[in-house]
Structure 1
Amino acid sequence: MIKNKKWWQKEVFYQIYPASFKDSNNDGIGDIQGIISKLGYLKNLGVNVLWLSPIYQSPMVDNGYDISDYFKINPIFGNMRDFDELLKKVHQLGMKLIMDLVVNHTSDQHPWFKKALKDPSSKYRNYYIFKKGDGDNPPNNWRSNFGYGSAWERVGASNDYYLHVFSKQQPDLNWENPELRNEIYKMINWWLDKGVDGFRVDAITFIKKDQDFKSLPADGPDGLVQVKKKTENRPGIEKFLREMRDRCFKGRKIVTVGETSGLKYSDFPTYIGDHGVFSMAFDFHYADIDVESGSEWYKRTDWKPKDLRKLIDASQESIEQTPGGWSANFLENHDQPRSVSKYICSLSYRNNGIGAKALAIMYFFLRGCPFIFQGQELGLQNFEREDISEFNDVSSISNYEQMLKLGISPKQALHYINLRSRDNGRTPFPWNNDVNNGFNNGTKPWLKLNENVGNSTAKDELQDKQSVLNFYRRLISLRNNPDYSDGLIYGDYKEISDLPDKVVGYQRGKDYEVLVNMSEERQRLPCAKVKILVSNYSEQHEVDQNLELKAYEAVLIKKVEE
């Protein structure tokens, strides 16, 4: 049981992807006023903290994660007056608002980068990472995270190159430069002084690069190597992280959440806990269970429920062993496909809501804070696009083009992209059955609607007592119930070692267990006398001696004293 409780540990977070949430002015793009108009929906759902994906000034090459001005609101979303109104109304409703903080890179349209290109002798040249080419080749053989191309972009006809871990329109900042770091800290403090309640910190494990900038043996047929091997979670990153904590976060009553991809569990004490830099962190080990490691990311793994259980156990136990450690638990976000399509193998149990509810129980009572991505509470599934022209995501398009170069057929390449594209989670939110699902009043949305026949709308689900949406409301209410919250929020996490291979389960505190049948086969488990607090099939009831889980049934149970 945790001793030093923090205000944010009891909260339920909700991620809003602004371009796709609600379009108030019918220009095809969601906006801040659209978010304001739906605050009642979010309050009714029961969430406490709203996380906004980037709304800063941006050319939107990577949908706002390429920032050209940290101090301005992108006009497609509104203006600073709109943001101030949003922040005020969120606080009036008793909720919090956190921003997306993107400080590994900027847009190539940022004034700093423009000045760096215009005058190689200016101080801004050292705000980014420029290197001389190796003859007529890039400085090394690092491959960009977005596709199979080089992580280096040549500057005109010169022999100078700049580093971009992601797209070429997202040049990496040079964190080795203390003057650059000071500029970043000023910006962070400006937003905190404005009243935002914290940040989700994007791609933060990439801010430290190995300073030898050496090539490594190729790991793919393109002769390149994954850039992350020299730029992700590298030794020395703790200096930058702790400085940022001390200069910006320390002493403030805020919450910070690190996007810590590639993090080894042994490094958790640097990032979270009593001596870490963030309140909590996202762990991607089980979120990426379906993806092959290495350069051929598009290949699927043949994962089994027992593999998922082991990954969840390892994640939870590693965080719990970190003094003061806390987890940011999630199934979906703006970079992930829909969880029902990823984790539920049976189409029938995707379409009837049972699978979505099973997943909700599975992750909602893990130790840490639950994060809900917009539309997840409706049980939305992936789309099925028929042509690459229907995609917006720069990563999907780049990877599609590179697969064709590797000899993969257009049909097969499109299949892989449909499975994993980040656009799956970015389609306009389906509010109702009106034109464009109520996203706006008829203008063509910036991204094609998700037309999966298994999906439903918020209006339909609000009216259906058995819907996925109302099930999420029940889970939030249960987690907040003072009769259970001590165990379900603050209780220790313990693995259950003797479960059937197709069951994912764990214990919280002394009295609670979560059991999830991840198959269509019934699973029987011996048990003492227990009370089922919630099931995705039925209401509360007591069970003695044997607990039988139906297909994809998930339960939260409490031991009953004899």
Structure 2
Amino acid sequence: MVQEAAYKRKWWKESVVYQIYPRSFMDTNGDGIGDLKGITSKLDYLHDLGVDVIWICPFYKSPNDDNGYDISDYYAVSEEFGTMEDFEQLLAEAHRKGIKVIADLVLNHTSDEHPWFVESRQSKDSPKRDYYIWRKAKENNEPPSNWGSFFGGSAWEFDEQSKEYYLHIFNRKQPDLNWENPLLIEELHRMVRWWLDKGLDGFRIDAINHIVKMENYPDAEAPAHEKIVSAHHFFSNLPKVHDHIQNLNREVLSHYDIMTVGEAANTGPEEALLYVGEDRDELNMVFHFEHLGMDFGNEGLEGWEKTPWQLSQLKEIINQWQIKLHNKGWNANFWSNHDQPRAISRFGNDQEFRIESAKLLATLMFMLEGTPYIYQGEEIGMTNIKFDSIDDYRDSVTQYFYRQAQQEGWAEDRIMRAIHQSSRDNARTPMQWNDHSHGGFTTGTPWMQVNPNASWINVESAEKEPNSILNYYKKLISVRKEHLVAVYGKYEPILPDHSSILAFTRTLGNEQLFVVMNFSATLAHLEIPEALADKSFELLLSNVESDTAETLAEGRLQPYESRIYSKVVIPC
């Protein structure tokens, strides 16, 4: 059966995106902090890799209590990253090389040092008071509700200056904006339009599904002894979110040829279609985190201790998202970002099979329907860091966890083991460019220590090795660009019950891909379904040297082996 070739081509669907955490990417002035000129200096590297879009994490003016996601001026560049002129040069150089640039857009909150909030807290009668969410204490002087922050503790902070509480579902220095205020919305729209007029090609929109909160901020159900509880359902994916996004799209976004991807935690495929459905006029795609919850067994502190995950879980999640969004919406495919541990240390094998498992994870990400996102260093197989002391960690969430775990009586080795698994700093160690001091990231003292394995895991050595992870990424990107079926083809799972093999086909018109992967550290027996067991498939790419890879015959897959086959389908 040949699938009807009905699909809508868009440049952002066919693109490969590379995420840059600027603080850790490349430092050009020796202060130990990556900068915009550092990104510009590596554009040839990114062009050679084959990426079409770079997504830059926040580079706006910020006190950096949450590394840039606490913005104090939307219209200014943080001095540690450079100047507005540096950004404009970066944008121009990227465009000259055919690379588009998208930036983080933080609309849920600002820094408490933003002039809006400074004015807001001056007086209850301030014109900016209603730009944020202020509430009186309960009669017993407790917070207005029992909502917990994503970062720990209460989501309400008492302000001595104005004698009321303000809401912050993230860090206490990140007060939430009040999207019930039309004047605030106008301000935000004006700011978004300003950046697009400057030439940006789109946005990754931070925490977009949290901008609307439950009316009246009620208490969540909780055991009597718990004063602070998870209340995510009171500020996640509420219906009015879509009114605001549609308004933003209608008034601003739709007037530009851009791409938009929203961060939407706690979102399943049906919910995602409300954001990305082609008839919804909201966003192009969203980041969901269902697959990153496979090893998350508990709430609270215990959630930092990763639990074993099952391939059956991953298959079910992939099947749901691939099938339900096909020809209705668009997926954003990723394993890693600045908030997550390194995928190779989490879902692969960063020891004996580091190279093979890194290539396998990449194969899956690139061969699914959706836009693939590479996080810096992923393309060379960078791993988690294991600092010996909490003093070496910079992430405020990690430091909060350490203090709370100590108070709960956790042993030091248990605390550090959990941090080694789950800290956001795993993804934030500086980029490893070569085997020189500090991995070639800086000539000064880096803001955070470089992973010691930079001496042998680095870009320079990967470029010289034909079978490196880096060069495999280049091949994967070429396959995706040369075969539209890898972008738009219909997904169909194969061998659904196999305990270690994940396999599927992608079909578009008269071309079909067959992708097969062994997600284990042992040999896996491969029995090809009868419908695929013919000799017309040709091997496009394999991540290991194998005697059986050239033919689609019964055989065995090596540990973490992946293969991509292609054939022309004869119409029925």
Whether the TM-score (by the shorter chain) exceeds 0.5 is yes
- Corresponding residue SS for 1:123: coil
- 12-21 vs 549-558, greater mean Cα deviation: 549-558
8 Å Cα contact 2:305-2:422 kept in structure 1: no
1:501 match: 499
Q: Which residue of 2 aligns with 1:141?
A: 146
**Rounded Cα–Cα distance in structure 1 between residues aligned with 2:195 and 2:162:** 38
Q: Of residues 532, 540, 556 in structure 2, which corresponds to 1:548? A: 556
Structure 1's 84 and 502: CA in aligned 2 closer, same or farther, altered over 3 A? Answer: same
Greater mean deviation of Cα atoms: 237-246 or 449-458: 449-458
CA positional deviation for 1:255 = 0.4
Q: Distance in 1 between the 2:162 and 2:480 partners?
A: 59
Aligned equivalents of 2:48 and 2:223: distance in 1? 49
Among 284, 290, 305, which residue is 2:289 paired with? 284
**Deviation of the 1:235 alpha carbon:** 2.6
Are 1:31 and 2:29 an aligned pair? no
2:246 to 242, 245, 268: 242
1:274-323 deviation digits (Å, cap 9, x = unpaired): 12311111121002221125334223232111221111112222222xx5
Larger displacement relative to structure 2 (237-246 or 215-224): 215-224
Structure 1 CA distance, aligned partners of 2:348 and 2:449?
Answer: 24
Separation in structure 1 between the aligned mates of residue 456 and residue 497 of structure 2, nearest angstrom: 32
| SS of structure 2 residue aligned to 1:400 | helix
Question: 1: CA distance between counterparts of 2:225 and 2:566?
Answer: 53
Q: Indicate conservation of the 8 Å contact 1:519/1:552, yes or no.
A: yes
Describe the superposition over 1:106-164 as per-residue Cα deviations: whole angstroms up to 9, x where unpaired.
000000000011122112110000111112211111111002x1111001176410000
Asked if structure 1 preserves the Cα contact closer than 8 Å seen for 2:55 and 2:101, the reply is yes
Q: Deviations over 1:452-473 (max 9, x none)?
A: 4796010000011111001101
Tell me which moved more, 176-185 or 294-303: 294-303
Return closer, same or farther for 1:454/1:504 CA change in 2, 3 Å cut-off.
farther
Counterpart secondary structure, 1:348: coil
SS in 2 for 1:253: coil
Which of 298, 305, 315 is equivalent to 1:309?
315
Matched, 1:449 2:450: yes
Q: CA deviation at 1:542?
A: 3.3
Asked if 2 retains the 8 angstrom alpha-carbon contact of 1:283 and 1:315, the reply is no
Any conservation in 1 of the 2:495–2:502 contact (CA below 8 Å)? no
**1:422-476 alpha-carbon deviations (Å, 9 max, x no partner):** 11111111111111111111x1111111124796010000011111001101111
User: Is it true that 1:224 corresponds to 2:228 in the alignment?
Assistant: yes
User: Per the alignment, in what secondary structure is the counterpart of residue 512 of structure 1?
Assistant: strand
1:16-415 alignment, distance < 5 Å? 16-134=20-138, 135-147=140-152, 149-156=153-160, 159-218=163-222, 222-276=226-280, 277-295=282-300, 296-320=302-326, 323-345=327-349, 347-350=351-354, 353-415=355-417
Query: Counterpart of 1:7 in 2: which secondary structure?
Result: coil
Structure 2 length normalisation: TM-score? 0.93
Q: Secondary structure at the match of 2:484?
A: helix
Question: Structure 1, residues 88-107: CA drift from partner, whole Å, max 9, x if none?
Answer: 00000011000100010000
Identify unmatched segments of 5+ residues in structure 2: none
Q: Using a 3 Å threshold, how does the CA distance of structure 1 residues 538 and 63 change in structure 2: closer, same or farther?
A: same
Change in 2 beyond 3 A, CA 1:264/1:354: closer
Name the CA distance, whole Å, in 1 between partners of 2:297 and 2:250.
38
User: Deviations 1:465-513 (Å, cap 9, x if unpaired)?
Assistant: 11100110111111111xxx22111111112244511112221116212
Identity of aligned residues (%): 39
Matched residue SS, 1:465: coil
Deviation readout 1:326-367 (Å, 9 max, x if unpaired)? 1110011101110010012573112xx111111111211110
Match of residue 489 from structure 1: 487
Residues in 1 aligned to 2:101 and 2:225: alpha-carbon distance in whole angstroms = 45
CA contact (8 A) 1:535 1:555 kept: yes
How does the TM-score come out when normalised to structure 1?
0.95
Give the superposition deviation at 1:402. Answer: 1.7
Letter aligned with residue 536 of structure 1: N
Which SS does the other structure have where 1:519 is aligned?
coil
CA contact (8 A) 1:319 1:326 kept: yes
Partner of 1:532: 539
Residue identity opposite 2:493 in structure 1:
E
CA, structure 1 residues 161+39, in 2 after alignment: closer, same or farther (shift >3 Å)?
Answer: same
Tell me how far apart the structure 1 counterparts of residues 407 and 219 of structure 2 sit (CA, whole Å): 23
CA distance in 2, matches of 1:400, 1:452: 25
Q: How many residues align?
A: 553
Change (3 A) 1:13 1:544: closer
Return the letter of the residue paired with 1:278. L
CA contact (8 A) 2:350 2:383 kept: no
Deviates more, 1:504-513 or 1:385-394: 504-513
Contact 1:380 1:455 in 2 (8 A): no
**Against the structure 1 CA distance between its residues 125 and 561, is the aligned structure 2 distance closer, same or farther, given a 3 Å change threshold?**
closer
Cα separation, 1, equivalents of 2:117 and 2:517: 50
Structure 1 CA distance, aligned partners of 2:52 and 2:325? 23
Task: Identify the range of structure 1 (213-222 vs 199-208) with the bigger mean alpha-carbon deviation.
Answer: 213-222
1:473 aligns with 2:481: no
Shift of the alpha carbon at 1:418? 1.5
Letter in 1 for 2:545: S
CA displacement, residues 179-227 of structure 1 (integer Å, 9 cap, x when unaligned): 1111000000000011100000001111010012111123797532114
Question: For residues 561 and 507 of structure 1, what CA distance do their matches in structure 2 show?
Answer: 12
Q: Tell me how far apart the structure 1 counterparts of residues 324 and 86 of structure 2 sit (CA, whole Å).
A: 41
Q: Report the Cα distance in structure 2 between the residues aligned to 1:259 and 1:50, rounded to whole angstroms.
A: 16
Q: CA 1:131/1:411 → structure 2, altered by over 3 Å: closer, same or farther?
A: same
In structure 2, relative to structure 1, the CA distance for the partners of 1:42 and 1:453 (3 Å cut) is closer
Do 1:346 and 1:520's aligned partners in 2 also have CA atoms closer than 8 Å?
A: no
User: Could you say what secondary structure the match of 1:284 adopts?
Assistant: coil
CA–CA separation in structure 2 for the residues paired with 1:184 and 1:361: 39
Quote the Cα distance in structure 2 between the aligned partners of 1:305 and 1:275.
33
| 8 Å Cα contact 1:57/1:75 also seen in 2 | yes
Q: Distance in 1 between matches of 2:42 and 2:350?
A: 33
* CA distance in structure 2 between the partners assigned to 1:349 and 1:546 by the alignment: 24
SS of aligned partner of 2:556: strand
Which segment drifts farther, 362-371 or 223-232? 223-232
Which AA in structure 2 matches 1:525? Answer: L
Q: Quote the Cα distance in structure 2 between the aligned partners of 1:480 and 1:499.
A: 31
The one-letter code of the counterpart of 1:500 is H
Any stretches of 5+ residues in structure 1 without a counterpart? none
**More divergent stretch after superposition (54-63 vs 230-239):** 230-239
